Structure 1
Amino acid sequence: MKLIYSPCPNDTYIFHALVHHLIPGTPDFDVTYADIDITNGLAMNSESADIMKISYAALPWAHKDYVLLPCGGALGRGCGPLVLTKEETNPQNLTGKRIAVPSERSTAYLLFRLWAAQKVSGEMGEMIVMPFHEIMPAVRDGKVDAGLVIHEARFTYHEYNLHMLTDLGEWWEEDTGTPIPLGAIIAKRTLDVKSITNWIRASIYYAMENPKASLDYILEHAQEMSPEVAKSHIDLYVNEFSLNLGDTGYAAIEFLLGRAMEAELIPTMDLTDLRWGNGK
């Protein structure tokens, strides 16, 4: 079975037991590690993978062939993307500026565009897609005027002498009252979605009960990350929503995608379809 997810600590933590044959009754997995911009593009092709991690923002492009699973993803509070600049500034100064983003089909990008519609009066300049770990050096070196960062950048941007223009998570929670839907796990509609959901939940429970078991695997794939930063990353992105989206999680996803559709940032889709995988 083909499985694609990022090398980030929250993903390797969640899937460690599953892909290392520690969950009974599971098949062999052919694992590919890919940056979120790559997986968001692959989600448009049902031959890419059986199960994969994508941004919630990419669901409208994938929902024809894939179903959202109710577990394994990243959704929560206090875990939003950041907008960073080399010098202290204000949102109005982003008018006409070059912005580095990790993906134009990411939740981070949706949040950024929705925020900018409120806070930036003029049109921003070029949006430059680059791997998330290259964004902070690009801002530091003046290759771009600002960067939209995700993942462990929340803990490390000070090392690059950068300034936080805004925390999009804080803005979103204050503006909407809902948690932030970041990464989704999707599976082909033709598969046994219930079994896959049970396998992933079992893998998460194994990780929680055996926190040291996955450490070598996590650090092997983390990009020059200390064990302390990796743990902070996991603590932030793996939570109760990773085990079960529940009504609160689904409502947050519906709210985000509904607002993005109104702003014509994503294609339209039937939001009631989001809960399909929760009842199979």
Structure 2
Amino acid sequence: MPVRQEQQSAPILSLGFSPCPNDTFIFDALIHGRVDCGFRFREQLEDVETLNRMALESVLDVSKVSYHLLGHILKDYLLLRSGGALGRGCGPLVVARGQVDPATLAGKRVALPGRYTTAALLLRLFNPTLTDFVYLPFHEIMAAVADGSVAAGVIIHESRFTYQEYGLHKVLDLGEWWERETGHPIPLGGIAAKRSLGREVLLRLEQGIAESVEYAFGHPGEARPYIRAHSQEMSDEVCDAHIGLYVNDFSRGLGSEGEAAVRLLLGRAAAAGIIPPWQDPLLIF
């Protein structure tokens, strides 16, 4: 679909998200002008922990961030209701070389996919006595566990579908633990936007991202080239499984259930001293 003349002259906002299939699926229509919220976007595709650190420095206007990191940036950013990853059966996994009791990991080194990831937050909430962490890019964690560099690792993204190829075993599903503990779906990552953009712009962004999600669901084939351009090492089957796991109705909009889950996660993190308490509004009102 060609970009209309009014889109060509629209203001440009910087937008960060990961190259993972769920994010490229969600943002394809917005980036390529298939939906129009009155802005053009300069996209920056980075791994989630890089995006987290960029958000800490307030680099991007709009960015996918871990919900853990969101708790550290609420003075400057708020959460958009659309475009995020939140659901059931999609949480991070703890893997090890054999069948290991999670209680025996105390005092042992565990690999995490970034200091500010929700995976790191969930593990700390699950067992606050774990303190010996090494932070690695998410795609390096399985190899580190397999070669014995660490006793266990927390894996995310497409690693959920491939860890058995490394001879690893699932020790714990942190998403299942959270759902059993709270009854809520697990909030993994959301879209943060600068408060300084103003309410009107923020509402247009929120609606535009929701429309981009709807367009992707309605025209899945149109996003395929963009998805494959950034996930060439994955098979089509893994790409489709990734999208199916992380893109759902909560990606269209959090709704009351999703919002309650986010508030509970951040509340527990603040109570544990992992993120600071906050008073600024979380969402656009």
Name the structure 2 match of 1:145: 151
C-alpha contact (below 8 Å) 1:74/1:181 kept by paired residues: yes
d(CA) in 1 for partners of 2:49, 2:19? 13
Q: Does 1:171 align with 2:182?
A: no
Q: Which runs of 5+ in 2 are unaligned?
A: 1-12
Deviations 1:116-169 (CA, angstroms, capped at 9, x unpaired): 24xxxxx43521111111111111111111100111111111111100000011
Q: How far off its partner does 1:219 sit?
A: 1.6
Matches within 5 A, 1:1-280: 1-46=13-58, 48-117=59-128, 123-124=129-130, 126-191=132-197, 192-222=201-231, 224-270=233-279, 273-275=281-283, 277=284, 279=285
Distance 1:99 1:34 in 2: 24
TM-score (norm 1): 0.93
Contact 1:18–1:26 under 8 Å retained in 2: no
Whether the aligned pair in 2 keeps the contact of 1:250 and 1:274 (CA below 8 Å) is: no
User: Counterparts of 1:137 and 1:208 in 2: how far apart (Å)?
Assistant: 34
Q: Is the 8 A contact 1:75 1:249 kept in 2?
A: yes
Q: Which SS does the other structure have where 1:104 is aligned?
A: coil
Q: With structure 2 as the length reference, what TM-score do the two structures score? A: 0.91
- Which range is displaced more, 123-132 or 54-63? 123-132
Give the aligned CA root-mean-square deviation in angstroms. 1.3
Deviates more, 1:257-266 or 1:174-183: 257-266
CA distance in 2, matches of 1:218, 1:51: 20
Equivalent residue, structure 1, for 2:7: none
CA distance in 1, matches of 2:166, 2:250: 31
- 2: distance between equivalents of 1:138 and 1:125? 18
Q: Count the aligned residue pairs.
A: 270
| Secondary structure in structure 2 of the residue aligned to 1:236 | helix
Does the aligned pair in 1 maintain the 2:55–2:65 contact within 8 Å?
A: yes
**Alpha-carbon contact 2:37-2:207 (below 8 Å) kept:** no
Task: Describe the superposition over 1:6-46 as per-residue Cα deviations: whole angstroms up to 9, x where unpaired.
Answer: 11111000000111121135432211111111111111222
Partners of 1:43 and 1:61 within 8 A in 2: no
Q: Provide the rounded CA distance (Å) in 2 between the counterparts of 1:183 and 1:32.
A: 16
SS at 1:73's partner residue? strand
How many angstroms apart in 1 are the aligned matches of 2:41 and 2:258? 28
Supply the distance in 1 between the matched residues of 2:282 and 2:239 (Cα, whole angstroms). Answer: 30
Runs of 5+ consecutive residues of structure 1 not aligned to the other structure? 118-122
> 2-side partners of 1:5 and 1:61: how far apart?
18
Question: Partner amino acid for 1:170?
Answer: E
1:120 matched to which residue of 2? none
